[in-house]
Amino acid sequence: MDVWKTHQDCGDIADTLKMYDDAWEGVSTDDFQEHIKNEYQDIMISNFNEIYESKDFKIPSFDKQLEFVINHHKQM
């Protein structure tokens, strides 16, 4: 048996994005970050593509991407 510790918001977004569904051995830090980065990109392309594709747009740090993804899903 393993022990998994996570922030409540991180656990909630992992559940919302169904990260645990096929993760028989758990969700690693790398897995979590990859899911969040992919979700951030999907949200930006779907909702803010003009901004996202702008030459002046800079992809924010992982922490900012995570915050954005969490807030986006809380509003849904």
Q: How confident is the model at residue 40 (pLDDT cuts 50, 70, 90)?
A: very high
| Interatomic CA distance for residues 39 and 45, integer angstroms | 10
> Tokens 């922030």 identify what position?
7
| 36 vs 4: which has the higher pLDDT | 36
Mean pLDDT of the chain: 92
pLDDT of residue 66: 98
> Tokens 């998994």 identify what position?
4
Residue 74's contacts (CB-CB under 8 Å, 6 or more residues apart) are: none
Q: How confident is the model at residue 25 (pLDDT cuts 50, 70, 90)?
A: confident
